[in-house]
Every structure is written in C-alpha cells, then in structure tokens.
C-alpha cells in the first residue's frame, strides 16, 4: 500500500520545548510529511480539551510568540525536508501586524499559515503577506459553510484548503462516510488540493480518507499521547512514532 501523507499537529512548547522537539522527531521518524505547529492561544474557538489544555499549560509559563517562532526555527534546521505550517488564531497574527508576522514566520522556516478565524475573503491581508514571503495561506473549509460560500472558496485559487471534516471542536472521533467524501469533493472542485482532518485517530480512518485528500491531518490524538507520556521521554517518542506509523500505513 502506498504511504498515506500525514500532517501531524503539535503545540509549540508543550509540555516543554525539549519534549515537544522529541515529539516532532518521533512524528518525522514515523513518516509525517508536514508539521503543523500551533502557537499557543488563550481562547481557541475550534480546539477541544486536549489541545486547549496544552495551550493553557504552555501559556502559564509566559510562553510568547517569539518563543514559538524560535522553536519552529529549530525544527526547520533539524528537519529541512519537512514542511512546517503555523496554526494559530487571528489576533496573534494581527497584533504585531500581518506583514511583519509573516516575514518573521518565513525567516523561521514556515511555509504555510492556517488561521481558522480569518475568513478567506476577509483575511486582513494574510494571503498577500504570505505570498510576499514565499508562504501560502491555507484557508479552512467546514461542512457548516453555505453551499455558495464553499463554492466560492473552492474556486478562489488557493493551492491548498484545510477541510475540517465536521463542525464543532477537535478531539472526538470522526466517521468517514459518503457525506464526508461528498464534502471533500466540493472543497476540491476548483482544483485546490485538500488537507482533511478533525477527529482522525487511527489507521482505519486514515485509509478511508486517504484517496480523497492530499494529506490527512491528526492533532488531538498526538497531543493526548504527548500528555500521557510526558513523564518519560523515551515512551513519549515511541508512542508518537508508533501512532504516526499507524496513520501513514507503514
């Protein structure tokens, strides 16, 4: 079976920078093609308890955006062959200035931005700033979008679109069914490649989804493994690597 492409999610600095780096190493060794690094945010709108708890713990150490970007730069230096995307929320990008933030992100090695609460057609200049700095803006599509709006997004010319496979928050399992495949077909109707995630937890889901997307996205499942094994670096590495191998079908 051909390897399934995987975008794996981790929270910068969780539970420490060193253990987060160990987790990233395990993801890459397990076959992850893209690292989606979340900059911790105090009031996430789409993240479930696992990711929200991780963000809260990191922020309690007064972890700042510049710390997250330094962590990302370290990842890029260690794994230059792996794409790194930032996932965060609009205020972190808007506050320092969208253009200034994108320049700093690109200098750290970031190749894409996933900012769920910045709509694709009112993005405060994010797409233009990404383009100017050799990155891409990856907008988010959800099944709750009106048909005409989803069609507009699909034909807006984005190289990639992140498809949230269901409404609500991350962390609970998602059933891959005919409705899911239909939704993904609508997202890709304009030629954009699709990343599909939200509730991907095991290899069976990954296999069911793989033919409909460019890459599967897995987040909460990794954050929970990191949390469970944060007291033992070796166990953390093995647990995360094993899950990545499962999701990529290796």
Sign of CA dihedral 107, 33, 205, 14: negative
Computed on alpha carbons and rounded to an integer, the radius of gyration of the chain in Å comes to: 17
Burial 141-171 (b: 16+ CB within 10 A, else e): bbbebeeeebeebbeeebebbbbbbbeebbb
Tokens matching residue 199: 């509730």
CA dihedral 204, 210, 212, 217 (to 10 degrees): 90
Question: Which of the following is catalytic: 17, 33, 36, 214?
Answer: 36
Chain position carrying tokens 């670096």 = 233
Residue 74 and residue 26 in contact, taking contact as beta carbons nearer than 8 Å: no
Look up 232 and say whether it is catalytic.
no
| Cβ(90)–Cβ(98) below 8 Å | no
Sign of the four-CA dihedral 105, 219, 54, 14: negative
Q: Which member of 47, 57, 214, 246 is catalytic?
A: 47
Report helix, strand or coil for 178: helix
36 is annotated as an active-site residue:
yes
- What residues are paired with 194 via a beta bridge? 161
Residues with catalytic roles: 36, 47
């Amino acid at each position: 079976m051909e390897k399934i492409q995987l975008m794996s999610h981790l929270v910068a600095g969780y539970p420490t920078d060193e253990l987060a780096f160990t987790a990233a190493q395990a993801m890459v060794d397990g076959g992850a093609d893209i690292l989606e690094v979340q900059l911790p945010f105090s009031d996430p709108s789409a993240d479930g308890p696992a990711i929200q708890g991780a963000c809260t713990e990191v922020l309690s150490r007064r972890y700042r955006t510049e710390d997250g970007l330094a962590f990302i730069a370290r990842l890029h230096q260690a794994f230059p062959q792996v794409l790194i995307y930032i996932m965060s929320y609009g205020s972190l990008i808007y506050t320092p200035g969208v253009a200034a933030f994108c320049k700093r992100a690109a200098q750290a090695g970031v190749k894409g931005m996933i900012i769920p609460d910045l709509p694709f057609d009112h993005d405060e200049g994010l797409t233009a700033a990404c383009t100017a700095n050799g990155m891409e803006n990856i907008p988010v599509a959800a099944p709750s979008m009106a048909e005409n709006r989803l069609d507009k997004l699909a034909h807006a010319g984005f190289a990639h679109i992140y498809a949230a496979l269901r409404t609500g928050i991350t962390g609970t399992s998602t059933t891959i069914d005919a409705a899911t495949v239909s939704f993904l077909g609508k997202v890709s109707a304009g030629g954009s490649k699709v990343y599909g995630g939200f509730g991907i937890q095991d290899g069976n889901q990954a296999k069911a989804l793989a033919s409909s997307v460019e890459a599967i996205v897995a987040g909460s499942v990794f954050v929970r493994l990191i949390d469970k094994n944060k007291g033992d670096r070796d166990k953390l590495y093995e647990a995360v690597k094993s899950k990545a191998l499962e999701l990529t079908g290796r």
